[in-house]
Amino acid sequence: MGASHQGVRQRRSAVMRNWRSWPSKHHRRARKLWREATAEKTLPSPDPSTDVTLGRVNAGPRGIDHAVDLIAGRRVLALTGAGLSTDSGIPDYRGPGSPPRTPMTYAEFVSGEAAQRRYWARALVGWRQLSYADPNPGHHALAALERGGVVTGLITQNVDGLHSRAGQHQLIDLHGRVANVVCLTCRHSSSRREVHRRLSDLNPHVADRTGTIAPDGDAVLDDVDGFQLVRCACGGALKPDVVFFGENVPRDRVAHAMGWLDQAEVLLVAGSSLHVMSGFRFVRRAAEAGIPVIIINRGPTRGDALATRKLEMGCAQALTDLAYAVRAPDSAVHHQPA
């Protein structure tokens, strides 16, 4: 590896270790510094496996540079999916190498106590593991872009709450959050931690088990015999306040998100296959309105044909590079932590 190319990588690594020290910079200066750092004259010939350009599909520094050209000086709305949280240890449903999964549907959950026992037993194990997950560099990069005035809003399909923990404020949790629980009868909302405590007290034989965590925060368990449910004070069944498969996103939430899209000048999609309509509708609406769409995802998405630019990259690396390129933090470029 050439010395100049190694220097570029060292600068990126410095960025990943210095989220909270990033000051805001003008886009024009950011783009100039990025191009100087990654100019063809200072880099070795690109390896096709790491930097390719196929029409609108890119990976590597050139793909980031093209994305910067699209977002510089524009209001950016971000849309994120499960692929963003994989670097936090939470698997996704449709990413490369993801095993087949059959999540519980809304109709199945409300069918009776047998399905609810199965769900809550798996969720008891999964919640404990999910609660250990921390925001990864992709979450922090998006929060930094919000602080710099680049990302003006973020819509997430994820229910893990990691965007909020990373410091994102202009945020719509499209599918809700697993940290909240709702009664299906009286609609009273309660804390998942309290429900988890009650379930653990009643089911210590399950609470101590481990299992493979699923994207929505439950775990893969086979035997749930003898599991005891907890109920609302009114006697109603409790359900995580998230949108299950087969359940509709609340209309007012969709309208709120669409309002954000109508005010945006670029839609940035990160880590979503856009397989379900709840996410794809925003890409389709953006394309119809002539709003540029940038998609960052490993593997094909339902929205690829509508994308202005597609980056075949991991979300954490791509968003880190993008945040560096747009905001050009001098503290991250010049400061190497001990």
Position 63 scores a pLDDT of 81
93, part of any domain: no
d(CA 16, CA 140): 9
Q: What is the predicted pLDDT for the residue at 266?
A: 98
Chosen domain end from 194, 212, 242: 242
Residues 68 and 145 in one domain: yes
Number of domains observed in the structure of the chain: 2
Displacement of CA 134 from its chain's centroid (Å) = 12
203 and 119 in contact (C-beta within 8 Å)?
no
3-state secondary structure 83-123: HHCHHHCCCCCCCCCCCCCCCCEHHHHCCCHHHHHHHHHHH
Does residue 21 form part of some domain?
no
Give the model's pLDDT for residue 55. 45
Q: What is the CATH number of the domain that holds 196?
A: 3.30.1600
Q: Are residues 123 and 141 in the same domain?
A: no
How does 116-127 read in b/e, with b if 16+ C-beta sit within 10 Å?
A: bbbbbbbbbbbb
The answer to whether residues 130 and 140 belong to one domain is no
pLDDT tens digits along 100-124: 567 889 999 999 999 999 999 989 8
The answer to whether position 316 is within a domain reads yes
Q: Could you give the C-alpha distances from 296 to 214, 244, 315, 319, 324, in angstroms and in order?
A: 22, 25, 6, 9, 16
Residue count (the chain): 338
CATH number at residue 75: 3.40.50.1220
Answer yes or no: do 121 and 140 share one domain.
no
Residues 6+ apart with CB under 8 A from 271: 80, 81, 82, 83, 84, 85, 86, 92, 138, 296, 297, 315
Residue 193 and residue 70 in contact, taking contact as beta carbons nearer than 8 Å: no
DSSP conformational letter for 217: S
Same-domain check for residues 75 and 190: no
Catalytic residues: 175
> Angle at CA 99, nearest 5°, toward 210 and 212?
5
CA distance 153 to 260: 7
Helix, strand, or coil (residue 259)? helix
Contact criterion met (CB below 8 Å) for 31 and 327: no
DSSP-based three-state secondary structure for 80: strand
Query: What does each C-alpha distance from 207 to 132, 183, 197, 199, 202 come to in angstroms?
Result: 15, 22, 10, 8, 9
Distance CA 292, CA 267 (A): 6
φ, ψ dihedrals at 238, nearest 5°: -100, 145
Q: Is residue 94 part of a domain?
A: no
Buried b (16+ CB within 10 A) or exposed e, 19-50: beebeeeebeebbebbeebbeeeebeebeeee
Residue 148 and residue 237 in one domain: no
Is the same domain home to 219 and 270?
no
**Beta-strand runs (E) in 4-85:** 53-54, 57-58, 76-80
**Which residue type is seen at 23?**
P
**Are 134 and 88 within 8 A, CB to CB?**
yes
CA distances from 100 to 23, 93, 113, 214 (A): 43, 7, 25, 11
Point out the domain boundary residue: 242, 263, 282.
Answer: 242
Is 44 within a domain? no
With respect to residue 15, please indicate whether it lies within any of the assigned structural domains: no
Tell me whether residue 92 is in a domain: no
Domain boundary among 242, 274, 290: 242
Nearest to 176 by CA among 239, 113, 94: 239
Question: Which residues of the chain fall short of a pLDDT of 50?
Answer: 1-55, 328-338
Q: Indicate whether 269 and 206 sit together in one domain.
A: no
Tokens of 219: 């775990």
CB atoms within 10 A of CB 320: 23
277: in domain: yes
Quick check: 247 and 188 in contact, CB under 8 A?
Answer: no
- 265 and 116, same structural domain? no
Structural domain including 235 reads 99-134+177-242
- Give the model's pLDDT for residue 76: 97
Whether residue 106 is found in the same domain as residue 168: no
Predicted TM-score (pTM) of the model is 0.78
Residues 165 and 184 in one domain: no
Residues 201 and 277 in one domain: no
